[in-house]
A = this chain, B = another copy of it.
Amino acid sequence: MTGDSLATGQRSLGDPSVTYPLWPPLTSGCPRTSTAELAYPVEVDYAYDRTPDDLFSRGRTRKAGLDRWASLLPPLAVPTLGEGGTPLVEIGDGVYLKDESRNPTWSHKDRLNRCAVSAAVGVEAEGVVVASSGNHGASAAAFAARAGLRCVVLASAGAPPAVRSFVNAYGAVVLPVPWESRWPLMRQIVDRLGYHPVSNLTVTHTGHAFGPEGYKTIAYEIFTDIGVPAAVFMPVGYGELLFGVWKGFAELRRLGLAQRVPRMYACEPAAGGPLAAAVRQGLPAAVVPVGPTSAYGIACAVGGHRGLVAIRESGGEALLVSDEEMAAAQAELSRQGMWTELSGAAGLAGLRRHGVVDGPVVCISTSSGFKDLAVGSHGPEAVEPTWDAVSRRLRSAGIST
């Protein structure tokens, strides 16, 4: 069942000397180092010495997306939807945008779910269950459909109408329940029905053991496109993306292909920011209150330890960005022809807050503008179809007629 994968086992982030076999994937973190107040995630270990020499050479294989990197990923049991392989678009002054809206369900989450739903296939689960109102839920539903597994999505009621249609599109059973009921119900679906959880079940975030491995491929792709950048700025909710991208670069260094890893900048909404709180307070992970924000995709109360590892090991930083800063970054990208979700623009917002970085910088844009709260709520007014009326409208937009 491992195919090309060189995965050998699981290793605790709480204590790296604590290891587990590869199966079953630990969906509630590391049982030996976690406590009632703090849960430590695990990561996947590989037989790095058996990595194919030409894995990072251009044109070595016809395989695209995640399949190209199968040796350094957990076993990929679900057939590909063509996830990964997203473009790196130059936006000026040495800044590149990694456009993750170009995935099968138009967000970065597809890289995680290819791995996490493959784990569900690996343990012969009855189905998968996920708590999410947006990108993660839709992506899990898509890969469950691809795998021929049932999927239950515990959604909270507040998702935008277009996103509701999106989550509903892949044949999952979507159950809108109050926000705080999502986790207890997920636990019951896991325990009673034998469904495999692909989102978090623990007191601080651990999530899925295999999922964040999928995000390593973002680092591999950046490396094959432009080498190692000076810094990577990205939206951060639970820190799985942050950890995965950092780990990918750390592996490249371990394999002797890179000299260093980029500084990792976590960009959280100022309304919450559990990772920034953990950094500030010197904690392994933190839980914070969350105020009002439109960046619903990354507005998390509960943080996890993965993000802290990435920041500490890379010399990075946890930045807080306001909704206004994210909206300004979103507008900056629109003026370059790219429409991102508000949350998705947090990486560029973080870079603008931080100021110029010496050397190439990558901002990860996680998702498409179609997922925003405001979608469909406004549009331009109709105009009378005469040249007079049209030219008045054009002039008011600054076009001389």
Please report A residues at the B interface, Cβ cutoff 8 Å: 57-60, 62, 64-65, 79-82, 85-90, 99, 101-106, 127, 141-146, 150, 152, 155, 157, 160-162, 164-166, 168-171, 173-178, 181, 184-185, 188-189, 192-193, 225, 334-339, 368-370, 372, 374-385, 387, 390, 393-394, 397, 399, 401
Contacts and interface: CB of A to CB of B under 8 A. Distances in A.
Given A142-B338, A170-B339, A165 B385 contact: no
B104 A145 contact: no
Considering residues A81, A86, A188, A393, which has the most beta carbons from chain B within 10 angstroms of its beta carbon?
A: A81
Contacts of A161: 161-162, 375-377, 379
11 contacts: A59-B59, A81-B89, A82-B87, A101-B106, A142-B338, A145-B334, A155-B380, A170-B334, A175-B380, A176-B381, A192-B401
A259 to B, nearest CB: 20
Given A339-B105, A339-B170, A165 B81 contact: no
Contacts of A88: 82
B85 A87 contact: yes
Given A79-B90, A146-B336, A152 B369 contact: no
A376 B165 contact: yes
B81 A385 contact: no
Nearest to A126: B399
A81 B338 contact: yes
Contacts of A104: 99, 102, 337-338
Number of copies: 2
B379 A62 contact: no
A87 B380 CA distance: 35
Considering residues A62, A106, A165, A174, which has the most beta carbons from chain B within 10 angstroms of its beta carbon?
A: A165
A399 to B, nearest CB: 6
B393 A337 contact: no
A401 B191 CA distance: 11
Contacts of A152: 394, 399
Given A150-B399, A390-B175, A399-B150, A369 B335 contact: no
Contacts of A372: 165
A99 B115 CA distance: 21
A193 B399 contact: yes
B378 A165 contact: yes
Contacts of A144: 337
Contacts of A382: 157, 176-177
A111 B86 CA distance: 16
A173 B385 contact: no
A70 B207 CA distance: 44
Nearest to A139: B337
Contacts of A127: 399
A397 B99 CA distance: 36
Contacts of A160: 376
A65 B160 CA distance: 32
A169 B390 contact: no
A188 B143 contact: no
A68 to B, nearest CB: 12
Contacts of A81: 87, 89, 337-338
Contacts of A335: 145, 170-171
Nearest to A163: B376
Contacts of A143: 337
A383 B105 CA distance: 26
A173 B145 CA distance: 40
A105 B89 CA distance: 14
A370 B162 contact: yes
A101 to B, nearest CB: 8
Given A157-B382, A162-B370, A337-B145, A397 B62 contact: no
